[in-house]
């Protein structure tokens, strides 16, 4: 898929992995719509990018809001690229001294991480169905975000791992569903990345986390995620795949 001139939607695009992806796509001359709950940082990013960028407030847990974001990103043209980076975390054991795992946080994490991904997948896929193929014969690309926690869930990651495991599980059937319409679906599963989820930790703790990575022994940079997302868009043979982006890290139990 040619990025230049394509209309792209990045959910969760106001910060972290999403903001880096929006910057990367914009630098390749896509028309980028940033959808996020964080209006302040979303508008700041649009101002930074200048032309060919727009912001729309969007709660990915609301399917109607995601539908509206897709419509806005499509405009009077064709939506060809959709990336979902919206996500939250939660730490709590299945059961412990405080009792069983809280129900509401589990539901919330699944609603944002898994249902939010589904909402974008269904809406973007539908919007791309009738696109005219580009010069490479493609009509659209959808990139979702999971986590290595889908495979290596640590103690206290029940909700997060379940939500990201669901994203992994959707990837291949979604790619098969949409293949006949020349739409590709891939998922990136990042390891330990320098994002707002880790921003509240002391620098010593962040360095210790990064040191767990075999090579390079540091936290991943959002731009490295963005580079892979752009490559997925541009490489027509990447389809139905979940790609670990983790420096060979396999998470220990704790």
Question: Residue 175: inside a domain, yes or no?
Answer: yes
225 part of the active site: no
Which pLDDT does position 140 carry in this prediction? 98
Domain contains 197: no
Question: Is residue 249 domain-resident?
Answer: no
Tens of pLDDT, residue by residue over 147-183, are 999 999 999 999 999 999 999 999 999 999 999 999 9
Distance, in Å, from the CA atom of 29 to the CA atom of 242, rounded to the nearest integer, reads 26
Domain presence at residue 254: no
Helix H segments across the chain?
Answer: 16-27, 39-49, 63-74, 103-110, 116-128, 149-152, 158-179, 196-199, 203-211, 222-234
Q: What is the total count of domains within the chain?
A: 1
Q: What whole-number distance in Å separates Cα of residue 67 and Cα of residue 71?
A: 6
List the catalytic residue out of 90, 160, 193, 225.
160
**What is the extent of the structural domain holding 76?**
7-191+222-242
What CATH code is carried by the domain that includes residue 86? 3.40.50.720
In a domain, 210, yes or no: no
pTM: 0.96
pLDDT tens digit sequence for 193-214: 998 877 777 788 888 889 999 9
Angle at 148 between CA 242 and CA 181, to 5 degrees: 20
Nearest Cα neighbor of 93 from 149, 157, 151, 148 is 157
Whole-angstrom distance, CA of residue 180 vs CA of residue 177 = 7
């Amino acid at each position: 898929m040619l990025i230049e001139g394509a209309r792209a939607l990045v959910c969760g695009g106001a910060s972290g992995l999403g903001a880096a992806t929006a910057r990367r796509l914009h630098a390749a001359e896509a028309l980028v719509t940033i959808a996020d709950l964080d209006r302040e940082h979303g508008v700041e990013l649009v101002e930074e990018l200048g032309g060919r960028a727009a912001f729309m407030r969007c709660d990915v847990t609301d399917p109607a809001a995601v539908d509206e974001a897709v419509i806005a990103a499509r405009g009077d043209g064709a939506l060809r690229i959709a990336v979902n980076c919206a996500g939250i975390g939660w730490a709590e054991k299945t059961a412990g001294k405080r009792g069983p795992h809280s129900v509401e946080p589990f539901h919330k994490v699944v609603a944002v991480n898994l249902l939010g991904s589904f909402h974008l997948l269904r809406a973007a896929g539908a919007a791309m169905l009738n696109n005219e193929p580009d010069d490479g014969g493609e009509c659209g690309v959808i990139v979702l975000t999971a986590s290595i926690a889908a495979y290596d869930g640590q103690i206290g990651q029940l909700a997060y791992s379940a939500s990201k495991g669901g994203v992994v599980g959707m990837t291949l059937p979604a790619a098969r569903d949409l293949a006949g319409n020349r739409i590709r679906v891939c998922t990136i599963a990042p390891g330990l990345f320098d994002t707002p989820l880790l921003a509240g930790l002391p620098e010593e703790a962040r360095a210790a986390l990064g040191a767990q990575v075999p090579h390079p022994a540091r936290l991943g940079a959002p731009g490295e995620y963005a580079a892979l997302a752009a490559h997925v868009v541009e490489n027509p043979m990447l389809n139905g795949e979940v790609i670990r982006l983790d420096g060979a890290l396999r998470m220990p139990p704790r």
